[in-house]
């Protein structure tokens, strides 16, 4: 007999609830990155150098990195919506503390706990979205729930920076707190609650890590995101090397627009073609790296390569989170915490590795480093045809188990 969820596979997506989850991701990314756009104002107000203000972003990432896995493992038995609302409410508290603090150390502590709440929230979003719909709709549901991140990166951060410059950085953070409170009401109204895992069904973090498919997904994602962050972090020196040093803003605009296209394409196709999208996206990113290596001073070649890169990257978070959720089954939240941790490691590794490459081989070495990561990642994704990135039949069989 089919389950109730199976019988509603053709039902419309619960967009209001899914968009509430997306709004949570939007606030998370905006909270993380807003200090980067307001460095001078925050530094002058707190009486510290801009480099120290930059550590407000670093300590946020550290909070997500160290807390995601243990916190999700500890809360597996808790009901899901109250836990989700607790993470969102945490943002209201820490952003208020940030806005009111006149002490740099207290601000650092608040930012660390903001990262902790972010790690928890990101670990919950994909699994919660998947439970709101039928198995055949899970990819699209996760795609909608993940919309907040790219929208925050492409639209929210510039808008937040402009807001902070207009009304001051402290009111900007207070507005973020107010948005978090409003979001709490939206989540309570439109997002369903689900039980946590029974103690008897909970698997250890190690056992979830060893589930077939989880490690290939994490490994391919690490290679992909590390490659992305090597180039994205050092796009300015690379463009200067290519003779386009004055066009960084336009290049990033092309990347952002192409990323939105990638998100849309992923949302349309993911429920039937997840495997092919991962293979095609990784291949396209590798081709873009090759085009950048061969472009020389060709502006058209660089712009085309960046558009292909953006299209490939746009749906990456949704693809990897969906693949992870499918591979982990009932332990999806624990697997998502591993995704959060691995993603943050790749971000940190991209900054470190890119800096070493820039010093050692110059900007021209960056595209070749991307290829050295993406080609093995593509091979691993291709080989993970039974677990990790299965085809349509394999995914259907996994959903039926």
Q: How far apart are alpha carbons 111 and 105 in whole angstroms? A: 10
164 and 33 co-located in one domain: yes
Select from 6, 13, 1, 4 the least CA-distant residue to 396.
6
Which residue, 169, 199, 229, sits at the end of a domain? Answer: 199
Which residue, 151, 175, 199, sits at the end of a domain? Answer: 199
CATH number (domain holding residue 335): 1.20.1250.20
Specify burial of residue 16 (Cβ count, 10 A radius: 0-12, 13-18, 19+). Answer: exposed
Q: How far apart are alpha carbons 305 and 314 in whole angstroms? A: 14
Task: Give one word for 184, left, alpha or beta, with left for phi > 0 and alpha for psi -120 to 50.
Answer: alpha
181 and 222 co-located in one domain: no
Q: Note if the pTM is more than 0.85.
A: no
175 and 240 co-located in one domain: no
114 and 251 co-located in one domain: no
Q: Which domain holds residue 104?
A: 14-199
191 and 243 co-located in one domain: no
Per-residue pLDDT tens, the chain, 401 aa: give them: 333 344 345 678 999 999 999 999 999 988 887 887 787 889 899 998 877 887 888 888 889 888 899 999 899 889 999 999 999 999 999 999 999 999 999 999 999 999 999 999 998 998 899 899 998 888 889 889 988 877 776 666 667 777 888 899 999 999 999 999 999 999 999 999 999 877 666 788 889 999 999 999 999 999 999 999 899 878 888 999 999 888 887 888 888 889 889 988 998 899 889 999 999 999 999 999 999 999 877 899 999 999 999 999 988 988 998 899 889 888 888 898 999 899 888 888 888 888 889 889 899 999 999 999 999 999 999 999 888 898 755 555 555 44
187 and 222 co-located in one domain: no
130 and 217 co-located in one domain: no
């Amino acid at each position: 007999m089919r389950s109730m969820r199976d019988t509603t596979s053709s039902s419309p997506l619960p967009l209001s609830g899914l968009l509430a989850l997306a709004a949570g991701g939007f606030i998370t990314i905006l909270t993380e990155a807003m200090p980067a756009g307001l460095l001078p104002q925050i530094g002058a107000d707190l009486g510290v150098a801009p480099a120290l203000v930059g550590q407000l972003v670093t300590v946020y990432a550290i909070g997500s990195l160290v807390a995601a896995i243990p916190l999700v493992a500890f809360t597996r038995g808790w009901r899901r919506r109250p836990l989700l609302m607790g993470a969102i409410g945490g943002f209201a508290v820490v952003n208020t503390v940030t806005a009111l603090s006149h002490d740099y150390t207290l601000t650092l502590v608040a930012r660390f706990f903001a990262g902790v709440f972010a790690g928890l929230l990101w670990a919950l979003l994909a699994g919660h979205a998947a439970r709101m719909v039928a198995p055949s709709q899970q990819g699209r549901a996760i795609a909608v729930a993940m919309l907040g991140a790219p929208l925050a990166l492409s639209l929210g951060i510039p808008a937040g920076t402009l807001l902070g410059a207009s009304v001051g950085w402290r009111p900007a953070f207070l507005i973020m707190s107010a948005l978090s409170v409003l979001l709490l009401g939206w989540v309570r109204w439109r997002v369903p609650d689900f039980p946590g895992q029974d103690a008897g069904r909970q698997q250890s973090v190690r056992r979830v890590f060893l589930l077939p498919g989880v490690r290939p997904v994490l490994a391919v994602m690490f290679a992909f995101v590390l490659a992305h962050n090597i180039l994205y972090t050092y796009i300015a020196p690379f463009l200067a090397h290519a003779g386009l040093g004055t066009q960084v803003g336009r290049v990033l605009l092309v990347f952002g627009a192409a990323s939105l296209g990638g998100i849309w394409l992923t949302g349309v196709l993911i429920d039937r073609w997840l495997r092919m999208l991962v293979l095609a996206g990784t291949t396209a990113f590798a081709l873009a790296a090759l085009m950048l290596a061969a472009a020389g001073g060709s502006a058209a070649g660089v712009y085309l390569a960046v558009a292909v890169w953006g299209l490939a990257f746009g749906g990456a978070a949704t693809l990897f989170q969906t693949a992870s959720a499918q591979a982990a089954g009932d332990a999806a939240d624990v697997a998502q915490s591993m995704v959060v941790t691995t993603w943050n490691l790749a971000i940190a590794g991209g900054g470190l590795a890119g800096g070493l490459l820039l010093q050692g081989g110059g900007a021209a070495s960056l595209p070749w480093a991307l290829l050295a990561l993406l080609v093995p990642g593509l091979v691993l994704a291709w080989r993970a045809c039974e677990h990790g990135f299965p085809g349509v039949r394999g995914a259907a069989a996994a959903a039926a188990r």
